[in-house]
Structures are given as structure tokens and as C-alpha cells.
Amino acid sequence: MSTPDDRLDVIAIAPHPDDLEITCGGTLAKLVRQGYRVGILDLTNGEPTPRGTPEIRQAEAEAARVALGVPVRINLGLPNRVLMDCPEHRFAIATILRRFRPNVIIGIAGRTPAASPDHHQAHLLIEASRFYSQLTKWDDRFAGTAPYRVPFLVYAPFPFDAEVRHWHGTFVIDISDTFDLKMRAIACYHSQFDEKPLERIGHVVGGNNIAQGGRCGFAYGEMFAMPHPVGASDLMSLVCGAKAATGAPVPLPGQPPPPME
């Protein structure tokens, strides 16, 4: 059963240890720095892989958790490689949501034909589990936890999604001050990324974060999406979160250039 201490502001969910570090590690580290209580839910242990073992992956995930400063990391122990959107897996994830009662889910999103099909299944599972977590009269399927409705769902899209998605709302978080922590966390996964692959993933992830951040005038950024338009009560704080409207601003005569960190 839950206790008041279990409550999280944000729970980030992905099928494999390292998915969240790659897609939104900078934002998770930043949320922690900003004082929010953040948890990571890995659906599987990511094994088997050619050079990993369950013990190695657990140690790597723990080192990455420490690098990001995230206080809570749970592995749900669902099956890797054959992860499927099915009722039992929805019950298991919804039980975690009912226990930790987060305000926001950050969920992995996208269909990755050149990578694991678990990613797409996790996307489906996260949406379904969020719905299931609020259901009444089924407490026995959720380990006796009480129904809980998670107010907000945010997608952390894979940068190599097969789909061109017309999201209702997207936004970019400035991770210029936590990008180094993100890369340090990714480097914890030695069994997945040794020297050459780490260089390659750093190149791809860094380039992606530079491109996404650059759209909003940040040195590095992570793009997120929502299943509905982004709402705000204050137009100025929403719009002025970005530093510049253009990626390569031209200084005007007599005026300093727009800031770019």
C-alpha cells in the first residue's frame, strides 16, 4: 500500500534501462535540480543483449540513476524483446501509478523499426495503464491499491520514430545546464555502448538535442509532445520560455544579439 512518501511529481516510463537517459535524461536531471520528486520506471531489465547480463544492467541503471540524481528507480521485471500491450502488463504498470500517484507521466513514444519493437508496445502500454489506474471495482487487479487518475501525460518521442506525427502540442525544455549529466548517464551503460558506439550515440543524441534546442534559442534541448494542445493561463510565461524565435539571429545595428548559451 502507498504512503505519503511514495508520491512522485513525475514518473518517467520506458521499456529498457537507457531509453529515458537518451530521450529525456537532461530534463529528468533538471527536474530533480528544480526540486521535483522524480521516479524512473523501467518496464524490463533490457536483457538478453549480446554483452549484458541482468546483474550488469542493474548496476549500470543504478549508476545512471545516481548520475541524473533521480531518487527512485524501479524495474518492473516485464519480459524484454517480447514486451506486449496486454491486460496483465497494464495491470502491473497501473499498480505502480496507483502507488506513486504522480502528477505527470513522461512516457516513451514512437515506433522504431530499426530498433526494439518493445518501444512501440511500451507507448501503447503507458497510455492504457494511465487509463486503467483510475478504474474502480478492480482493486484486486492492482494489488489492493486505490484508484488514481494521473492528470497529465507527456510523450518523450524517440528521435528515430518511423512515423511523422502531428502532435497536438510540442515543447522544448532547455537542458543546456544538464546535458553533461545526461551524457554521463548514457555512458554508464558500458555493456550497450563501449567506446565506438558511445561516440556514435553521443554524436546522434548531441546533434538531436542541438537541433531541437536551437529551435528555441537553447544550446541543447529535449522535445516533448502532449496528446492535447499545451495549455497555459499566462501567455507571456508560456511564450517567453524560449530565448529566441529564430535559430540563427542576425544582430540588429545598435542592439545586442539575442542571448544564446
| Contact code string over 4-43 relative to Zn ion, x by CB under 5 A | ------------x--x------------------------
- The DSSP result for the chain, as a single string, is ---GGG--SEEEEESSTTHHHHHHHHHHHHHHHTT--EEEEESS-----TT--HHHHHHHHHHHHHHHT-SEEEE--PPSSS----HHHHHHHHHHHHHH--SEEEEEE---TTS-THHHHHHHHHHHHHHHTT-SS-GGGGTTPPP----EEEEEE-TT-SS----SEEEEEE-TTTHHHHHHHHHT-TTT--HHHHHHHHHHHHHHHHHHHHTTT-SSEEEEEESSPPP-S-HHHHHTTSS-SSSSPPPPTTSPPPP--
Least distance to Zn ion from the beta carbon of 16, Å? 4
- With CB under 5 A as the rule, give the number of residues binding Zn ion: 2
Least distance to Zn ion from the beta carbon of 22, Å? 8
CB-based closest residue to Zn ion:
16
CB nearer Zn ion, residue 20 or residue 97: 20
Least distance to Zn ion from the beta carbon of 229, Å? 29
CB nearer Zn ion, residue 181 or residue 201: 201
Least distance to Zn ion from the beta carbon of 15, Å? 6
Residues 54-93 that bind Zn ion (CB under 5 A): none
CB nearer Zn ion, residue 122 or residue 181: 122
Least distance to Zn ion from the beta carbon of 2, Å? 28
CB nearer Zn ion, residue 90 or residue 119: 119
The verdict on 123 binding Zn ion (CB under 5 A) reads no
Binding interface with Zn ion (CB under 5 A): 16, 19
